[in-house]
Amino acid sequence: MNFPGAATLSAPLQAQIRKWVMGVFPREDRNPVDYDHPVGDPGLFGPQSVTWKIHGDFPGMMSGGICALMLQTLHPLALAGVWDHSNFRADLVGRLRRTTTFVAATTYAPTREAERLIARVAGIHERVRGHAEDGRAYSAADPDLLTWVHVTEMSSFLAGYLRYCRPSLPVSVQDRYYWETSRIAEALGARRVPKSVAGVEAYFRRIQPQLEFSARSVEVLGVLKSIRLPIPDGGASRRLFLGSAAVLLPDWALNHLRRSRLERLRDAAAARTLQAAAPLVRAALKDGVGARSCARTGVDRSILYTW
C-alpha cells in the first residue's frame, strides 16, 4: 500500500511504533465491536465515503480528538456534565479512548453494530443530568449540546487530517464530510447540525458568546497537561500529543484558552514532529479497523488512502 511519504518499515520498527500507539490508546476490551461480519455490509457510510478516508488517518484523528477535548472545556454546560459524571481526573485518556471507539464503530462497523453503539450512547446521555455552576440545568441529551460536541469533534478531526495528511483537500470534499457525519449527530438527537465548512464557521461565530474559560476549564486542561501515559518517556509523548492537537485550535479558541506565545511556539514544534512521523505511524497501523472493514466489504484497503 502506498502511504504518502512513508518509507518501508522494518518489522521491529513497525512493532515498536504500534506498541507505542497502542500503549497510549489501547482498544476497548468491554463490548468489543465486530468489524468482520456480516460480509458485504457497508455500514452507515461505506468504503466510498469521505468519512472512511478521514477517520482512517490515525495522526489526524489522535490530534483532532485531543483538540476537540480542549475545545469542549469552553462550554460551561458540556463541561458540567464531564465534571459531575466522569472520573476525568483519573481517566481522561479513557474518556478519549471511549470517544475513539464510538467514532470508529459508527464509521466502519456493520450497520447493526453501529446502530447498537448509537442506541447505547443515547441511553447514557439520558442519565447525564444536573446543574452547572450558575444553576442552569443541563442534560447530555440536550439537542444543542449534542450539536456542540459533534461539531467540535468533526471540525477537529478534519483539521487534523488537513494538517497532517492532505492540506489541499478541496472544500467540496470537506463539505461532503460534514454532510455525511451529520447523520450520526442527528441519530443521537442533535438539531440544526451544520453540514458544510461555511455552516461550521457560522456555527462557531454564533456560539462564541456562550463560551467561557472558567476555573473548571483550567483544572480539566491541567489534568490533561499532567496526565501520565503508560509508555516509556511518557512526558515527551504527552507534549507531542498535546502540542500537535493545540496547533489545530482555531484562533478564536486560542484566545479563549489564553494560549501564550511560548506555548504556541512549542505547539508548532510538536506539529512539525508529528508531520514528519505521520507516514511511519500510518504504515505501522495499516491493519486497523478501516482495513478490516475494507476486507468485509470486498474492497482493497488502498481505498482509504487514495482519492
In contact, 50 and 177? CB cutoff 8 Å: yes
Is residue 179, in this structure, part of any structural domain at all?
A: yes
**pLDDT confidence of residue 89:** 81
Could you give the 3-state DSSP secondary structure of residue 129? Answer: strand
**pLDDT confidence of residue 75:** 98
Is residue 182, in this structure, part of any structural domain at all?
A: yes
* Residue 261: domain span: 45-293
pTM: 0.92
Q: How far apart are the first and last CA of the chain?
A: 14
Is residue 38, in this structure, part of any structural domain at all?
A: no
- pLDDT averaged per 10 residues, the chain (length 307): 50 68 60 91 97 96 94 97 86 79 96 96 96 96 98 98 97 98 98 98 98 96 81 72 96 95 96 93 85 96 90
Q: Which three three-digit cell numbers place residue 146?
A: 449534542
Total domain count for the chain? Answer: 1
Cα→Cα distances 36→22, 212, 243, 290, Å = 20, 44, 35, 11
In contact, 306 and 290? CB cutoff 8 Å: no
Is residue 303, in this structure, part of any structural domain at all?
A: no
Q: Which of the 8 DSSP states describes residue 7?
A: P
Cα→Cα distances 133→8, 70, 76, 138, 216, Å = 53, 19, 8, 11, 10
Is residue 299, in this structure, part of any structural domain at all?
A: no
Is residue 30, in this structure, part of any structural domain at all?
A: no
> What count of Cα atoms within 13 Å lies in the side-chain half-sphere of residue 58?
26
Is residue 211, in this structure, part of any structural domain at all?
A: yes
Is residue 175, in this structure, part of any structural domain at all?
A: yes
